[in-house]
Structure 1
Amino acid sequence: MTRILLFLVLTVLFIGRASAQQTRVVTGTVIDSAGFVPGVNVKLISDKDSIIVATSAKGAFAFPTVIGKNFKLTVYGLGYQTFIRRYVMDSDTRPVVLAPIKLSIESKMLKTVNITAVNPITIKEDTVEYKASAYKVREGSPVEDLLKKLPGVTVDKDGNVTAHGKQVTKVRVNGKDYFTGDVQTATQNLPADIVDNIQVIDDYGDQANLTGIKTGDPDKILNITIQKGKRVGKFGQGSVGAGNDDRYVARLSANAFKEDTQLSLLGTVNNNNTNAFNFGGGSGGGGRGGQSGGGNQTSTANGITVNKSLGFNYRDAWGKKITAYGSYSFADRNKTTESNSLQQNLFQSGSILNSDSTLDKNHNINHRFDFNIEYKIDTANYLKINPNFSYTSTNDENMDRFMNSRLSTVTSGTEYSVTNANSPTGGANVLFNHKFKKKGRNFSISGSASFSKSSSDLDDQYNTQTHSVIVPLHQQINTDNSSQKINAHASYIEPIAKSTYLEANYTYSFTNTDNNRLNYRLNPVTGTPTYIDSLSTLYNYQFITNSFGLNIRGVKPKYNYTIGLVAKPTSLNGESHNFETSTHTFNLVSTAHFVYNFAKNHTFNFNYSGTNNMPSFAQLQMQPDYSNPQNIVYGNPNLKPEFSNTITMRYNQFDIKSGNSLFTNLSFNETQNKIVTNTQPVLNSQLNPGNTKDSTIQETHYLNTNGFYSVNGNYAFTKPFAERKYTVTINGGASYSNNINFIEGERDLAKNLVWNQGAKFRVDLDSIMDSEISANYSVNTTKYSIPSTVNGDAKTWTLGLDGRNFFFYDLILGYNLTQTINHGFSSTVKSNPTLLSTYVEYQFMKKHIASLRFQAFDLFDQNTGITRTVSGNKIIDTRTNRLGRYFLLSFTMRLQRFVGGKGQGPRGEGRRSGGGGRRSGF
């Protein structure tokens, strides 16, 4: 494998150099009366193509791959008169060094104009801003390709974005949600060449943004700011493709922007694991939507999905005071998943091993609507209303073959189940804010009301065999669940000094939940259903939280802080089968938020928060759950809510002179009254009277305990070379969890340590190559306080090469090679896949708006998902099918037309995001 990787690296480097030698290198310098001029645009137009670059700190520019001897240069920048000149060179391909180009000051501008080079990164209090023009990407590439080049940001093979160690949960465009904030929807469909900057924000919510009082654990979001010259225009692309094994894909993206008015339409039909919308989900959502960029990676989404999606996004200004934006999305997905797993249940008297082979067919239909109205009543009053609704229907068919063993007993069997379910959810959020005439005095109030319902019908057929005795079980379980939730929050801020503010706040939260679970046993001969009251559950509970808080906020030139105290009384009341329970808790916790600015682009951030977590219905129910005969579950209606203390710290630094960046995070979480499980084998009296050691059946109980805590940390250090043509990144992280569970009534500590170390080397040569070599090593180890012979260590090496090479401005070679080496996994699921995907793309028509691409995915046909999950006394290794080898021929057309604004370049074109070497748009 190492030889293959080395050979491919040398090949692409050699090809890239060979292609460069067939063109002419043109260099020069831009000056004015005071010296070098950095950060202005230099546009070269020849018979073959047009290219735009930005001058360096010393006013230098370079075009490494100019074809032809005649070309025109246009130099323009803020505060300077536009320079235009035609050049005629000799027919040879010797490098050309142009005479210095001297710019004249624009007479309409002020006589004194300060011009500085592009600053790639700006670090503010809770925001890291990346200037798009500092990171070069190919014309027509999606935002996802730009994200891959940002220090501290990673994009996995399915499009999930992680920034500074935390997964991004939402995306906004010009400060407003785009398709309800779906991450892949924005990053894979918006073109990178319209982007001015990308902000990574720690978001504490709308109310915190208005008041400045930031408490709780923030969400990590992206805000994509569009260039001013690209806010009026139309752009989009369409793709169609077909391949072997009946693979097909059709995709349409259309956008019309006119400043505050934005209309977007997305649609796709495919069977290659590509989703247009992930509905806020995490990994495994599919992704790989944008073809115009990379798109050469093998999907790591589990299973094989047939997807039909359609979505519409809207934004407009209803007058001068009202802004409205929202979206509607529809998705129809058929997913087939095959998996093999080995679960080790640890007991002192003998572990239970569960081996499963499962085939699951899932058909899911989802409708989602989300809308926002922001009303700036006047300079003092602001109102926001957010209604939302979604509806999901599911049909799931599951077939499972299992074998459970413990000591000398082996139980085998099959399960076939069919589930039909639907779940409508909806609600509305309202926020009002009033600023008083006295500076700093503020009042805000917010409220929300929501509902969720779910109904499901399960038909389940179980057959188990132990010591040649076959026991059939056929049951029907009908479930109707509903939940209503109301939240209200009020905040008043009073300035008590020049830079100090006092805030008083109150929060009320009420949740009502009804769960009806009716269990029927069917006669194996006649099929007649019989209602079993002892196995059914009718349960209702209310969870109420009152929070009384007081905060002091200080704002200083070098730092700012928020320190507070919150009293949180909670109550949990429930009733089931004429049994009532009531639990009350009281927590007095402090809150803290502190930011210190050492210097520009050099900050430290500290945050502490405390939260209550209510038990789930399955944990509270009194009636035992026999739906899985091999694991009987007993709820505990006397459970207390969990209370978690969370501390997070961030240290970020960027050095403008060297370009080095460092992003670090450290978090600590401690949970009181942690809800854990107590598991133990049970007696199978029919098969082995009086012998519990030979039973493969276990039972699970829930209880509260203390002692659970976890620590997580990560870092990313990036160093660029040669004006960001080469970039080295070293990143790593570790997490430690002190998990508590009970095994056969005895308290057990499961100390889980996961750590990883990685390195990446990136090469960005304009119009030649864009490649990255990476290596990562991770270890997952678990130690138990109760003696066990189970291997709790798993290790993984991941080596990768991902990139593109460009030839003659028309041809692109893309490649992605990943070698995964696993150690310590069970032999049932062990796999060391070598994944190689590649494509060749030919671009044609004016401005290369059309392309024809031939792609080969997973050439070695080894795409397989391997995971390890550690929970309580269980270690689960799983191997899951993924989309394997196939070939696809596709055609894509990309169109965009923008109306330039003031202060842009010649004919209103403006500066191209990504700077040097990027071709101009259509």
Structure 2
Amino acid sequence: MKFKIIFILLILISVVVKAQNIEITGFIKDSLRNPLEYANILAVPNAENADMRFSITDKAGKYLLKLEANHTYEVTVSYLGYLPQNLTLAAEENDVSKSFTLKEGLNQLTEVELHYTPPVTVKKDTIIYLTDKFVTGEERKLRDVLKKLPGVEVDRDGNVTSNGKRVTKVLVENKMFFTGDSKLAVNNIPADAIDKVEMLDNYNKVAMLKGLQDSDDLAMNITLKEDKKKFVFGDVEGGAGIKERYMLHPNIFYYSPETTINFIGDINNTGVKSFTFRDYLEFEGGTSKLLQDAGSYIELFNSDFARYLNNDDFKANTNQFAAANIRQSISKDSDISAYVITNNAKTEAQSETNTAYLDNNTPFIEDRTSANNVNTFFTIGKLTYDYAPSFKEDLSFNSFVKITNNDSQGFISTINPAQNNQIETQSDIKNINLKQHISYSKKLNDNHTGTLEASYTYQNDKPITNWVTNQQILQGLIPLETDNFYNILQNKKIKTHVANAIVKDYWVLNSFNHIYTSVGVNAAYNDLYSNDSQLLSDGSINDFESAGFGNEFQYQFVNPFIGLEYKFQIGIATFKPAIYYHLYLWSTKQLNDSDSKRKALFLPQFTSNIEFNNSEKIRFKYQLNSRFPSVDQLASNFVLSSFNRVYKGNPNLENQLYHSASLYYYKSSFFKGFYLNIGTSVNKKIEQTKTVTQLNGIEQFNTEIMFRQPEHSWTVNGAINKKIKKISYKFKSRFRYNDFYQVVNNQTHLNISKGISSTVSLESFFKNWPNFEIGYTKDFSNYKAFGNKTNFENDEVFTRLEYDFLENFIIKADYTFDSYKNKTTGINNQSDNANASLFYQTENSPWGFEIGVSNIFNTEFKQQNSFSSFYISDSKTFIMPRIFMFKVAYKL
């Protein structure tokens, strides 16, 4: 009933019609009748209660200007290098056709005085917004400003898109803001400090490499107001709630042409995380760069640190976060900058999981309850030196450090046909990671540009894990001695040294033909130590070494390579075939056993871009990839993975080999408020490492083999957005297909998983009415294993409401309804979640006050499903309870 009421209210809002609009259409051309693309038409109303309107011409020089009927406007038509035209236009009740011819202002640009600045300026790969033309003064943060810019969207997580393309870097006054991630910027930069927002497509930090290096980055540059360019500004927000809830969130910024200092702090026990996994990816170099090395990305994604950052579902969370950033200009040619991010968190998590094991011979069900108390501390720092004496030379040096210390105490209860058991777990994970990176670029002459990139990484992991239970576990796999209780201890140490270097020459034969040559080397040294043992009640140690446990394993890997790329342009299409020759040399050593191997591979690549115009593009990419196993996969002795898993590596593993191809089509129209994005990607594995499992109840023994049966994955993504008047209509969908083999209990099976997810939504952009977003998501998925098929369905309805009223009040609310079904097992669960807040601040007062409540309906858990090669799980993950908060904000 609550859902229906909210749904009906939002539907009623969506049919509100503010005022009748009339359309002014026509063409803007020069004196030779050539169309002027991106010409500006600005209509300023004479009445104070009417909105300013503007339009931009398309490639045919056509414009569409929507004006409120029965108002008079002062219209200005302008284009860079041409004399502007002005006229007074009375908007009646009928549509009007009006075209303009602009005369070129030959040698008169210095004499022309423009008494306005266009609200939007569009160049080939740059869009500039003058924010004062769009804001009302009620905005608090950059997020609120961006939502009012045409073609720009900000989602709940702080991701920013411009005309359907995601922003990957954020700059302030052309300098990187912290890590460059958008979330810290949109949630913390005050709205009243912003003068302009610039969207820079195909962004490259080194200007001379633009057009040489392929870049799909979209950067957002924030230009500050003149009185904020040497000024301290920011705000401090504090709050308290019932049941001893609290929060404190200071943001202090100092900007000057020579010095920039930022500080962001956050202390709360409301479950808010100020640093997420996406922020961590930016620290590691950015998602686009990491995905070029799939092995490094997967290893990073599966790390303990990443798993903590990815977890947003917990019963309780206390978070202490601080981030400081400083940039100092040493001279006109060089800058030095540094940032430090530190976080200390305490988390309580709980889940209940129902798992169906799919073995054809003995299928069974396990019910498992898990509870964990986790303490997480990390500090991340970066020091950067940039030196650019001229356009022809650029030097950058970066030094990174990451220190983590995580400890946890957990309890696991498992009920299954073989045993009813309770296990206490303890872990202590210490890690230090150091990385140095240098890049140097120099324009050698008109035809040749050279680059050098080199890096060195040192990582030291020291995880300690302890399992305590009153029943024997993993019988037949670990040699336990009979005792009153069983205390199992594991120590691991992993040291890694990685060095990379590449030298590249960009040879420009002419405007349409380039040749790029590369020479480089990748080298790694890994040292793995592990020890598993039983601590007996009398204090003695039962070492598992006699049963094949314990590793002292070294792994050395060297990969010299050379590459040749030919880039050429034919009409609107650009092609770049490439071939890389890699020589792989690696050796392994376990105690007295050692082995050395070598392999040579040619790895071809091909990319193509077809650019019909700046707003319509097709991109294709193909690559043959090779990925080598990690030291954990190679270590040849047993190691405990969990209370119910034992793992043994295989030193005879070689590289995986797989094809990957992707095709994307992008079209946008700033003129029509429309964008379309469609893409598909295909992967085919031809040689791979495969996990082989021996399953006995819930207990399993895993090892790796080389596997040469082909496996496939295929995804199709699409999104379309159309803005009509004050409503933006959106649709996005994703289809995925994956077939893969599993090897369980000496039997090989082909599994297939398929799924499709679609979301339809609409969002309003009224000035004086409540703004809302409402959407519906439908997920279908099925998973086929051991000849059995499992079907899942998920329905989600979400709404968001924001309303500025009585000049000084802002109300925000959001609601989500979720219905989850496992149609095969009959599991059906529904949940809803809602949050709301009311903010008050007078226009000239630095003080603001807010009352808010999260999880209004006090929803206890989220329902979700997962699957592996031999089981399907339905789980409940418990979340934060309802929280009431009263906040006070002070703007500096």
Q: TM-score, normalised by structure 1?
A: 0.79
The equivalent of 1:783 in structure 2 is: 784
In 1: Cα distance, 2:587 partner to 2:180 partner = 36
Counterpart contact for 2:321–2:344, Cα < 8 Å: yes
Shift of 1:630: 2.8
The equivalent of 1:483 in structure 2 is: 496
Q: Secondary structure at the match of 2:423?
A: strand
In 2: Cα distance, 1:463 partner to 1:627 partner = 19
Deviations 1:154-208 (A, max 9, x none): 76644466889998775444554322234422221124562633648677x8689
Shift of 1:576: 1.2
In 2: Cα distance, 1:129 partner to 1:353 partner = 59
The equivalent of 2:36 in structure 1 is: none
Decide which moves more: 109-118 or 440-449: 109-118
In 2: Cα distance, 1:507 partner to 1:466 partner = 49
Match status 1:547 vs 2:546: no
The equivalent of 1:721 in structure 2 is: 724
Equivalent residues in 2 for 1:410-559 (5 A)? 410-437=418-445, 439-464=446-471, 472-523=485-536, 525-533=537-545, 534-555=548-569, 558-559=572-573
Counterpart contact for 2:770–2:804, Cα < 8 Å: yes
Counterpart contact for 2:820–2:864, Cα < 8 Å: no
Equivalent residues in 2 for 1:288-437 (5 A)? 301-405=313-417, 410-437=418-445
The equivalent of 1:752 in structure 2 is: 753
The equivalent of 2:582 in structure 1 is: 568
CA 582–170 in structure 1, closer or farther in 2 if over 3 Å, else same:
farther
The equivalent of 2:648 in structure 1 is: 634
Shift of 1:504: 1.0
In 1: Cα distance, 2:703 partner to 2:262 partner = 50
Match status 1:586 vs 2:586: no
Match status 1:894 vs 2:891: yes
The equivalent of 2:99 in structure 1 is: none
In 2: Cα distance, 1:316 partner to 1:463 partner = 60
In 1: Cα distance, 2:46 partner to 2:600 partner = 67
The equivalent of 1:69 in structure 2 is: none
In 1: Cα distance, 2:805 partner to 2:70 partner = 13
In 2: Cα distance, 1:715 partner to 1:200 partner = 23
The equivalent of 1:86 in structure 2 is: none
Equivalent residues in 2 for 1:654-665 (5 A)? 654-665=668-679
In 2: Cα distance, 1:380 partner to 1:594 partner = 28
Counterpart contact for 2:231–2:254, Cα < 8 Å: yes
The equivalent of 1:252 in structure 2 is: 250
Paired amino acid for 1:197:
V
CA 239–211 in structure 1, closer or farther in 2 if over 3 Å, else same:
closer
The equivalent of 1:831 in structure 2 is: 829
Shift of 1:653: 0.9
Paired amino acid for 1:651:
Y
In 2: Cα distance, 1:498 partner to 1:376 partner = 25
Shift of 1:338: 0.7
CA 260–772 in structure 1, closer or farther in 2 if over 3 Å, else same:
farther
Deviations 1:673-719 (A, max 9, x none): 2222122334xxxxxxxxxxxx5533222122231221222111111
In 1: Cα distance, 2:809 partner to 2:436 partner = 51
Paired amino acid for 1:449:
Y
Decide which moves more: 363-372 or 589-598: 589-598
CA 736–887 in structure 1, closer or farther in 2 if over 3 Å, else same:
same
Paired amino acid for 2:733:
G
The equivalent of 1:885 in structure 2 is: 882
The equivalent of 1:699 in structure 2 is: 701
Unaligned runs of 5+ in 1: 66-72, 84-94, 96-104, 286-298, 683-694, 896-922
The equivalent of 1:177 in structure 2 is: 176
The equivalent of 1:197 in structure 2 is: 197
In 2: Cα distance, 1:820 partner to 1:878 partner = 15
Decide which moves more: 237-246 or 609-618: 609-618
Shift of 1:280: 3.9
Q: Secondary structure at the match of 1:844?
A: coil
The equivalent of 1:820 in structure 2 is: 818
Shift of 1:482: 0.8
In 2: Cα distance, 1:826 partner to 1:767 partner = 49
Shift of 1:762: 1.1
In 2: Cα distance, 1:199 partner to 1:697 partner = 53
In 2: Cα distance, 1:737 partner to 1:130 partner = 43
Deviations 1:713-751 (A, max 9, x none): 2111111112xx111111111121222221222332222
The equivalent of 1:801 in structure 2 is: 799
In 1: Cα distance, 2:864 partner to 2:163 partner = 23
In 1: Cα distance, 2:687 partner to 2:879 partner = 39
In 1: Cα distance, 2:641 partner to 2:754 partner = 34
Shift of 1:757: 1.0
Shift of 1:480: 1.4
Deviations 1:369-405 (A, max 9, x none): 1122111133432211111111111111111111233
Instruction: Give aligned pairs, total.
Output: 817
Q: Secondary structure at the match of 1:618?
A: helix
Counterpart contact for 1:381–1:434, Cα < 8 Å: yes
Paired amino acid for 1:882:
I
The equivalent of 1:671 in structure 2 is: 685
The equivalent of 1:708 in structure 2 is: 711
Shift of 1:466: 9.7
In 2: Cα distance, 1:271 partner to 1:715 partner = 38
Paired amino acid for 2:752:
K
Match status 1:604 vs 2:583: no
Counterpart contact for 1:184–1:277, Cα < 8 Å: no
Counterpart contact for 1:859–1:885, Cα < 8 Å: yes
Shift of 1:535: 1.9
In 1: Cα distance, 2:162 partner to 2:673 partner = 18
In 1: Cα distance, 2:529 partner to 2:165 partner = 37
Decide which moves more: 727-736 or 625-634: 625-634
Q: Secondary structure at the match of 1:608?
A: strand
In 2: Cα distance, 1:163 partner to 1:740 partner = 40
Shift of 1:835: 1.1
Paired amino acid for 1:316:
Q
CA 184–641 in structure 1, closer or farther in 2 if over 3 Å, else same:
same
Shift of 1:828: 11
Counterpart contact for 1:174–1:223, Cα < 8 Å: no
In 2: Cα distance, 1:177 partner to 1:452 partner = 26
Counterpart contact for 1:157–1:300, Cα < 8 Å: no
Identical-pair percentage = 16
Unaligned runs of 5+ in 2: 30-38, 56-62, 87-92, 94-102, 284-310, 476-481
Q: Secondary structure at the match of 2:471?
A: strand
Paired amino acid for 1:349:
N
Match status 1:139 vs 2:145: no
In 1: Cα distance, 2:878 partner to 2:70 partner = 45
Shift of 1:441: 0.8
Shift of 1:4: 2.2
Decide which moves more: 206-215 or 439-448: 206-215
Shift of 1:797: 0.7
Q: TM-score, normalised by structure 2?
A: 0.81
Paired amino acid for 2:441:
N
Match status 1:862 vs 2:859: yes
Counterpart contact for 2:834–2:856, Cα < 8 Å: yes
CA 536–600 in structure 1, closer or farther in 2 if over 3 Å, else same:
closer
